[in-house]
Amino acid sequence: MVKFKISVNHNLCIGCGACEQNCDNFKLTDGKSSPVNSEVDEIGCNQEASDGCPVSAISVEEI
Ligand code: SF4
């Protein structure tokens, strides 16, 4: 099964919280977002979170 690696570039993240609202796989800590699970079997809402990030800090890649 294809898996996906989810990551957030903390140098870009401005802590807007959009990803946390769009997807329960993101959590803000000290103003920066991180994935709860960094490897997932299904993209699901991670894609919407990535698409909705205003500074394109979220990457979703097949592994
Ligand atoms: S949407 Fe982007 S900028 Fe906003 S908290 Fe999430 S990763 Fe950070």
* CA Rg value for the chain: 11
Which helix (H) or strand (E) element contains residue 51? helix 45-52
Q: What is the per-residue pLDDT for 1?
A: 72
- Give the CA distances from residue 11 to residues 32, 40, 62, in Å, rounded to whole numbers and listed in that order: 9, 23, 22
Distance from the alpha carbon of residue 57 to the mean position of ligand 1, in angstroms: 6
pLDDT above 90 covers a percentage of the chain that reads 97
Residue nearest atom 2 in ligand 1 by C-alpha distance: 53
CATH topology of domain 4-62: Alpha-Beta Plaits (3.30.70)
* 23 neighbors 16 (Cβ within 8 angstroms): no
Q: What is the per-residue pLDDT for 53?
A: 98
Q: Would you say the CB of residue 55 lies under 6 angstroms from ligand 1?
A: yes
Rounded average pLDDT over 17-43? 97
Cβ-based neighbours of 25, under 8 Å, separated by 6 or more:
6, 35, 36, 37, 40, 44, 45, 46, 49
The pair of structure tokens assigned to 27 is 């959590």
Q: What is the per-residue pLDDT for 2?
A: 75
